[in-house]
Chain A
Amino acid sequence: MDTTNLILCAVAAAALDICALVLILAAYAERKSERQRWGELTGNMELSERGTAYPLDCDEILIGRHASADIRLEDLSVSRYHAMLTISKGKWTITDMGSKSGVFVNGNLVRQAALKENDIINIGSKRLVFRKRREKNG
């Protein structure tokens, strides 16, 4: 193999390598702006329970005790598939999925309810606050 061939092939491979790296970095940059866009569409909300904040990153979020739940509350008073949070036109709605202990929003037993900021949701013995997302300190 002559040296020219080796150098040219190595240069082409290096250029492809760098290009792939740049595109991966671009994907991370786009992830940041996509999160921002999602936040704007969904009102930047989160669920908080005793200092633990659960981000609402998907258009359907299951709250329950089951391992597949997006927000897992490990308490026997919580059903395995307890409630579902969904978003439509920027409005979050909570729906009871046939749980044993029910879903309470601001003390009212509901089957389905549209949520607004600072609503208190009681699921079993757990108390969740629907609030604006707070940036982590530090």
Chain B
Amino acid sequence: MDNPISYVFSCLFVLLAHAAMLVNVFINGSYSSFSDALLLAGAVLILDMAYFIAMLFFRQSSHTIDFLLILILNMSVIFQSCFGGVHFAAKHYITAIAALFACRGGYLLCRNHKWIQQQRKYFYIAIAVLILAILTLTGSRSMWIHIGSATIQPSEFIKPLFVLACATTISEQQKKHKVLCFNVVYENTALFGLIMVICLLQWWCRDLGSLPTFVGIYISGFMLRICYPKAKLSKKSFIIAGILLAVTALLAMKFAPDYAKERLHSDIWNDRDGTGYQQSRALIAIADGGWFGKGPGKGGLCNVFAHDNDIVFATICEEWGLLYGLMMICVLLIMIAIPLINPPRSYFHGTMAAGICAAFTVQMALNIFGSCNMIPFTGVTIPFISAGGSSMIVSGFMIGMLCATQSPYFSAPAAGKRNRLPAGRRQKI
């Protein structure tokens, strides 16, 4: 380990943050049985300890994102366990553990950029399989696959694959081909086709809330292609892309389903018991909670549908206060901003980090601004905070990809051979 002191301090302060929350639950929480609160505390602290130990087995040069992940995941477990009275949210706890495993998977998959760039065709195949699964298994124009009592949202799993498709193709910018009078990069055309297919699929499945997330990932990937030194993208192609985007947005507005159009113009205060039911209750709850909240488990918003995912920010603000709600968002933003402190060493990792930041930022913005009536209401989740297995596992995987940008694999120099190449090996013209 490179920094044992910072590792130990990070462990202690993550424990301190969770302990402070648990003390609040014990003294101030609304619980019927003390054992419920005790079970919650035990589960949170055991998961903390187990992850701190597990981290030692992964030889990473940076652990900050891991600490931020366990901090936010256990915060989320405590929040979810307090909605409607303190109890242990076992399902959410299990999905949090699954997210930690997914994080390790994402890290191991993406740390070697040379290897993963050679596997890019598999990402396209995986996306195609998921699209087929959505079209054939979700039923009529739905986005859920029902397996017994569990439901899976396959479109969530397309997000990390799409980020990988954007990142693994960035090194192909130099390979231009003449098609008629245009210089075409096949990979860029394939990616554009892919985003179009995904947009159509989201429209077909009536999951317009996820559409901005995919568009956000694509735009970040496109912008990085312009910045990529070998790309040589002209202003002309940038203008054409802008026009295409504007036309697509206009067409989307025109052909959007009626319920989506209605949300664009609805007045939640005039229709408090209709289309504005959730948003009006959410805003009242945030105001009720004030800066410091009513106390864990003492909120009333838990009686409103989707209080633990679509309007989870308002539920947290009501029970824990606006101050705590904003700080929770701040922790999430710090987690995705870590690559700014320690910039990635390859364009692949840079593009991947940008795509993940775009996806998380768009999701958080849609959820928070939507529940505060600043934009039309969508059913998008806040990563790690909202309940939902698919979202949790995918977010964990994407954070694992972000960890890979911080601890990438680069082959070490061959011992004793560094800088000893004879001049004769140079390829002269």
Q: Given A27-B338, A43-B418, A111-B429, is A16 in contact with B327 using a C-beta cutoff of 8 Å?
A: yes
Complex: A41 Cα to B415 Cα, angstroms: 11
Please indicate the chain A residues that have their CB under 8 angstroms from the CB of B334 in the complex: 20, 23-24
Q: Do residues A110 and B345 form an inter-chain contact, with CB atoms below 8 A?
A: no
B20 at interface by CB-CB < 8 Å: yes
Q: Do residues B421 and A91 form an inter-chain contact, with CB atoms below 8 A?
A: yes
Residue of A nearest to B7 (CB): A26
Residue of A nearest to B420 (CB): A116
Complex: A9 Cα to B293 Cα, angstroms: 8
How many chain B residues touch A (CB < 8 A): the figure is 69
In angstroms, how far is the closest chain A Cβ from the Cβ of B423?
7
In angstroms, how far is the closest chain B Cβ from the Cβ of A138?
25
Residue of B nearest to A14 (CB): B20
Residue of B nearest to A28 (CB): B341
In angstroms, how far is the closest chain B Cβ from the Cβ of A94?
10
Q: Do residues B320 and A90 form an inter-chain contact, with CB atoms below 8 A?
A: no
Complex: A18 Cα to B27 Cα, angstroms: 22
Q: Give the residue among B5, B7, B345 with the most A Cβ atoms within 10 A.
A: B345
Complex: A34 Cα to B63 Cα, angstroms: 11
B331 at interface by CB-CB < 8 Å: yes
Q: Do residues B16 and A18 form an inter-chain contact, with CB atoms below 8 A?
A: yes
Interchain Cβ contacts within 8 Å, total number: 197
Q: Do residues B410 and A23 form an inter-chain contact, with CB atoms below 8 A?
A: no
In angstroms, how far is the closest chain B Cβ from the Cβ of A106?
7
In angstroms, how far is the closest chain B Cβ from the Cβ of A129?
14
In angstroms, how far is the closest chain B Cβ from the Cβ of A58?
6
Complex: A17 Cα to B323 Cα, angstroms: 11
Complex: A111 Cα to B343 Cα, angstroms: 30
Q: Do residues B341 and A24 form an inter-chain contact, with CB atoms below 8 A?
A: yes
Complex: A6 Cα to B291 Cα, angstroms: 9
Q: Given A8-B27, A11-B24, A31-B342, is A23 in contact with B324 using a C-beta cutoff of 8 Å?
A: no
Q: Do residues A59 and B2 form an inter-chain contact, with CB atoms below 8 A?
A: no
B21 at interface by CB-CB < 8 Å: yes
Q: Do residues B323 and A13 form an inter-chain contact, with CB atoms below 8 A?
A: yes
B151 at interface by CB-CB < 8 Å: no
Chain A interface: which of B124-132, B225-233, B259-267? B225-233
- Of A13, A62, A117, which contacts B324 at CB under 8 A? A13
Complex: A62 Cα to B321 Cα, angstroms: 49
**16 sample A-B contacts, Cβ–Cβ < 8 Å, listed by A number:** A5-B295, A9-B295, A10-B292, A13-B324, A16-B17, A18-B17, A23-B68, A25-B6, A26-B10, A26-B67, A30-B3, A43-B413, A59-B410, A60-B229, A91-B419, A109-B429
